[in-house]
Amino acid sequence: MLKMGTRHSYIVSHLKTWKAFVRYRLYAVVALVAGLYFMFTFPLLAVPAMWVAGYTFILQKMYYKRSIASNRTVMLGA
């Protein structure tokens, strides 16, 4: 059965996914900057920092596809 709702309820239902997308994007950027810094100061710490940057970048792409780039057809009521 088709469930009708308002735009506000639809946006609120996807707010958690959107927040996770923003959070993982921030983690990826911070880990990349830390990895570049560690590459020149403490090379052994650069390896885990770059791994975290890659992992969080993949998570960010996954949440982006799930929330923003989704091409689902959605019917919203009044």
Q: In the chain, how many domains are there?
A: 1
Give percent above pLDDT 90 in the chain. Answer: 44
Counting every residue, how long is the chain? 78
Q: Which domain holds residue 26?
A: 15-67
Q: Does residue 30 carry a pLDDT above 70?
A: yes
The whole-number pLDDT of residue 45 equals 95
**pTM given for the model:** 0.71
**Averaged pLDDT, 57-68:** 84
Q: Does residue 69 carry a pLDDT above 80?
A: no
6 CA to centre of own chain: 25
Average pLDDT, the chain: 83
Torsion sign (Cα): 31, 36, 42, 47:
positive
Has residue 76 been placed in a domain? no
Has residue 62 been placed in a domain? yes
The whole-number pLDDT of residue 4 equals 65
- Is the separation of the CB atoms in 38 and 49 below 8 Å? yes
